[in-house]
Structure 1
Amino acid sequence: MFVSVRELKMSSFDPENHSTPSPTAEKLIQYLATLSATLAAVTAGNYLGWSSPALPLYNQKDTLTLVDDEQSWVGSLLPLGALVGAIPAGWIADKVGRKKAILMIGVPYLICWFIIGFAPSPLWLFVARFFAGAAIGATTVVVPLYVSEIAEPAIRGTLGALFQLQITIGISLGYLTGLIKNLKWIAVTSALTPAALLLVFLFMPETPVWLIGQDRRDDAERAMERLRGKSYPFPQELAQLESNRKSQRMQKASFAELKNHKRAVLISFGLMILQQLSGINAVIFYAEELFKAEGSALSPTACTGIMGVAQVFATCVSMLLIDKAGRRILLMTSSSVMGLCLIAVALHFYFQSGVQSTGIPWAPLIFLTIYVIMFAIGFGPVPWIMVNEVSPTNVVGTIGSAAAMLNWSLAFAVTKIFINMKLVIGLPLSFGMFALICLTGTIFIAAIIPETKGKTREEIQMKLHRIRKMETKNDTVANDQTTL
């Protein structure tokens, strides 16, 4: 049901009188819960990186025979599965809870590794990749939601950035498993991560936000005390969550409900569109081919390895900056620099394809590496964080699912279309189009995206509805006088 601006005002506390959470609040359990939940993200990255070292091992002795078309399906079924898995993920998380939903995701993750490792036919391999993709799609919805709801505002951005970091670590691990040179042992080794997820995350708390939504006040209090520590003034935070729940009239939310939260939807969908149409998947998936086709100072494998390592370190930098610099400035810096890098790459490919081949050999490596670094700092982690920060509690699962569906649809489209773009309009114009989208994104962010750093959910909703502090205070006083 739509929450009017008047209702939001009446339920809001005065931010000027809101006591700041105790700086001595215990944060260890919040980090441990986030690290254990994001083991699902490590597994997702592992599945994404697996195809690079594993596909060349097929068509050998004691392995399956895969023709080129079958190998392409092995790769493309993952984003298709992710699209399907994202659809019910938010609804399931609202029904059974965030914790149970993440544990449910771990089961197909674990089973699919063994099917992949011991698949008797290509059909079994296809099925496993599809269901693993479905688990990845659900992961991108539920895990950021869980992290957002357990984290106190002061470290919410840092914990949220762990999701993207764990994905990049998982991709790197996927590349490293190729050193084993045995498909069965690659699968068994990779299965250790979802096994650890199921074992460790079982002992983590449910989110107080979901428990309050289920009228489980005592359970929410115990979860909050465990997450924040006994010295933290969590009764005040719980009272605020209960106030939010009443004002938002918690109920089963459908996709039709999204029309009542237009600004949250615009921000969430806009960031997902910009993230995928920035060309990141075209660069990541076809990096070796790009370096091989257009020439570079190092071997394609070395260039791709440098980009992968740079992405991991850049995500670590994002974790340090996101709660200090803020989400908005990271997004604007990321989109601007990415756009400029893509322009430089487009110019290199343009001159490289000329008669005199005047391109600079180091240009692809330098500018694509900077591009990937800036993506990891801003456009990679921040959109997933902001989807859960700007969405009201009663529709956060629905908006998260819809945003993930959009994200994976565009990921599949860009991955599939890029090869045709390269053949039809050429690399210079293809990267020029991606650059234009990135620079347009800077304008969108400057005009639409609010800063959510260090703000509570209620303060963010007040800002989205453009409710001024004085307005809220005056309405509260007027209401008190009327009551008297």
Structure 2
Amino acid sequence: MEHKTSIYTFIAGISVNFLSLGTGFVYGWSSPMLPKLNGQVDPEYNPLPSPATLEQQTWMTSLSSLGALCGPFLTAYISEEIGRKKTLLLFALPCIAAHVIIVFASSVEEFYVARLLMGLTVGCVYTVVPLYAAEISENHNRGLINLLMFFLYAIGHFAAVAIGPYVTVQHFSVYSLVPLVSFLIVFGFFSPETPYYFMLRNKPEEAEKSLKLLRGGGNIEKELKEIHEQVEHTKDMGLFRSCNSLFTSKHSIKALTWSLLLMSFQQLSGYIYVASYTQTIFDLAHISFPNEIAVILVFFIQIIFVLAAFLVIDRLPRRLLAVLSLSTTMILALSMGTYFYLLQRNVDLQAVSWLPMVLFVFYVASYNIGIGPIAYIIPGEIFDPHVKSIGITLVTVLAFGWQFFSTVLLPNFAEKYGNETPFWVFSASAFVSVFFIYGCLPETKGKSFLEIQSFLRAKTN
């Protein structure tokens, strides 16, 4: 049977991810801005009284991850109290404030505050946007709607590395405000709260109104009944009881364990390390290509493969995509590690100096067509409604913990033990993850939330 996606569902999915577009600018900020702040590029336009030191640059990069660690704890509670939509609108404000601060900033401390505020918004995005997307989508398009987050993020990241080198720090922050202000207007005025939230709050009339808007009218009785059945036995549970259920219910424990392991393997695939230090790694690898252009090319390819993921995310099994993605990552990381191993031992690699750029292109591609989006999609599918916010919060916090590890500790790890070592760790992790996904993770493609929960309970019993 051919399923069609309502244009209203798609519009809601696009509008909420204007915030993800802004997140792409946050992640892409360091690469073009740090050379300006440390005086290497356009020192006459540096807003700081003296060039930023290496330690100051490290904190500017990592404070967004620390802010992101705080964001999920706040948004998990708030999204249950005031709703997914209001929470997203509220937490767009710290990022807006951060860019305004940078426009007028003249001290390192102001940049620290701004990056910390950006992290609060990032933490909200990766906690609440997947939840919102999962709750407005249908069984046949849930993967596609969730994938919009990665597509808009990829566009934002590409825009940051493409625009950043050619504008001042202040002008970059002005451009970064565009998707955030657009989000407040479009999402705020034209997108509804999720029907799941209204049903959890014992507001069936509001839930029906929301679902009718999302589906463009038509017969919604069957879907509304499924939502009602799913949340009926849990709608009155508070935060404490939700936490208690998450850690005492066997199938919730299993869902949490699977989600945490899946996110750990995603983070240990090495994408954040590669994305954060692309230009630095290219410098160390002595590639035969201008570094700035190579970085732009890598993240342009990322957009193409996120688009490719739209074609397969709801057509191929989630597990198959994840296994193929991680198997490819294993080979690419092993190859990159071997390249650095030979380079460290003064082997002449001039004839293949183009290889790191090619490996990075496929590295980014394999992540974005598989394990990247899937590690965020599956938790939104396998948690019970009453523990979903708490469960996704824990998964997101773990992700940002790994990101902090990747951006702060791995560079020192590489300096001490060799540039090849992180890539060999990524390769070994990908190898182990294939067996976990193939042997443990349930398939969720095309199944309703009710079917997934029934399967988990049956498997647990």
- Report the TM-score, using the length of structure 1 for normalisation: 0.88
What's 1:197 paired with?
183
Pick the aligned partner of 1:439 from 431, 442, 448.
431
What's 2:30 paired with?
51
Give the Cα separation in 1 of the matches to 2:399 and 2:174: 30
What's 1:393 paired with?
385
What's 1:119 paired with?
105
Give the Cα separation in 1 of the matches to 2:34 and 2:392: 32
1:258 aligns with 2:246: yes
Shift of 1:120: 3.7
Pick the aligned partner of 2:7 from 6, 28, 36.
28
SS at match of 2:141: helix
1:40 aligns with 2:19: yes
Write out the 4+ residue segments of structure 1 that deviate beyond 6 Å after TM superposition: none
Shift of 1:179: 4.8
Shift of 1:168: 1.1
C-alpha contact 1:390 1:460 (8 A) present in aligned 2: yes
Pick the aligned partner of 2:288 from 275, 292, 297.
297
- For 1:412, the aligned partner's letter is F
Give the Cα separation in 2 of the matches to 1:182 and 1:352: 36
Write out aligned runs for 1:441-456 (5 A): 441-456=433-448
Size of the aligned set, in residue pairs, is 447
Whose Rg is larger? 1
What's 2:196 paired with?
209
What's 2:297 paired with?
306
SS at match of 1:154: coil
Give the Cα separation in 1 of the matches to 2:416 and 2:165: 37
C-alpha contact 2:161 2:295 (8 A) present in aligned 1: no
Give the Cα separation in 2 of the matches to 1:362 and 1:184: 34
Shift of 1:278: 1.4
Shift of 1:358: 4.7
Q: Residues 204 and 356 (structure 1 numbering): CA distance in 2 closer, same or farther, change over 3 Å?
A: closer
Give the Cα separation in 1 of the matches to 2:167 and 2:293: 19
- For 2:183, the aligned partner's letter is L
Pick the aligned partner of 1:367 from 344, 355, 359.
359
Q: Residues 379 and 219 (structure 1 numbering): CA distance in 2 closer, same or farther, change over 3 Å?
A: same
1:263-283 Cα deviation digits (max 9, x unpaired): 110121011101111111221
Q: Residues 398 and 175 (structure 1 numbering): CA distance in 2 closer, same or farther, change over 3 Å?
A: same
SS at match of 1:357: coil
Which range moves more in the overlay, 431-440 or 104-113? 104-113
* Structure 1: gaps spanning 5 or more residues: 1-19, 472-484
1:284 aligns with 2:263: no
1:130 aligns with 2:116: yes
1:189-213 Cα deviation digits (max 9, x unpaired): 2111111111111121110000000
C-alpha contact 1:345 1:364 (8 A) present in aligned 2: yes
SS at match of 2:353: coil
Q: Residues 222 and 249 (structure 1 numbering): CA distance in 2 closer, same or farther, change over 3 Å?
A: closer
Pick the aligned partner of 1:324 from 310, 315, 319.
315
SS at match of 2:232: helix
Give the Cα separation in 1 of the matches to 2:110 and 2:425: 38
Shift of 1:467: 6.0
Shift of 1:381: 0.9
Which range moves more in the overlay, 454-463 or 60-69? 60-69
SS at match of 1:465: helix
C-alpha contact 1:88 1:401 (8 A) present in aligned 2: no
Give the Cα separation in 2 of the matches to 1:99 and 1:86: 15
1:89 aligns with 2:100: no
Q: Residues 55 and 424 (structure 1 numbering): CA distance in 2 closer, same or farther, change over 3 Å?
A: closer
What's 2:211 paired with?
224
Shift of 1:46: 0.5
Give the Cα separation in 2 of the matches to 1:86 and 1:373: 28
User: Percent identity, aligned pairs only?
Assistant: 27
- For 1:274, the aligned partner's letter is F
C-alpha contact 1:57 1:181 (8 A) present in aligned 2: no
1:136-178 Cα deviation digits (max 9, x unpaired): 0111000111011000111110110111111111111212332
Q: Residues 347 and 55 (structure 1 numbering): CA distance in 2 closer, same or farther, change over 3 Å?
A: closer
Give the Cα separation in 1 of the matches to 2:391 and 2:372: 18
What's 2:125 paired with?
139
- For 1:411, the aligned partner's letter is Q
Shift of 1:57: 2.5
What's 1:354 paired with?
345
Shift of 1:362: 2.6
Q: Residues 355 and 70 (structure 1 numbering): CA distance in 2 closer, same or farther, change over 3 Å?
A: closer
Pick the aligned partner of 2:61 from 65, 75, 84.
75
* Structure 2: gaps spanning 5 or more residues: none
Shift of 1:399: 0.5
Give the Cα separation in 1 of the matches to 2:82 and 2:34: 37
Give the Cα separation in 2 of the matches to 1:467 and 1:442: 21
- For 1:368, the aligned partner's letter is F
What's 1:343 paired with?
334
Give the Cα separation in 1 of the matches to 2:392 and 2:74: 10
Shift of 1:305: 1.9
1:7-50 Cα deviation digits (max 9, x unpaired): xxxxxxxxxxxxx8x835x6101111011100111111111112
What's 1:236 paired with?
222
Shift of 1:257: 3.0
Q: Residues 467 and 235 (structure 1 numbering): CA distance in 2 closer, same or farther, change over 3 Å?
A: farther
Give the Cα separation in 1 of the matches to 2:416 and 2:270: 17
Shift of 1:294: 2.1
Shift of 1:180: 4.6
Give the Cα separation in 2 of the matches to 1:283 and 1:394: 36
Give the Cα separation in 2 of the matches to 1:192 and 1:40: 10
What's 1:13 paired with?
none
C-alpha contact 1:42 1:166 (8 A) present in aligned 2: yes
Q: Residues 124 and 430 (structure 1 numbering): CA distance in 2 closer, same or farther, change over 3 Å?
A: closer
Give the Cα separation in 1 of the matches to 2:347 and 2:202: 72
Give the Cα separation in 2 of the matches to 1:355 and 1:136: 41
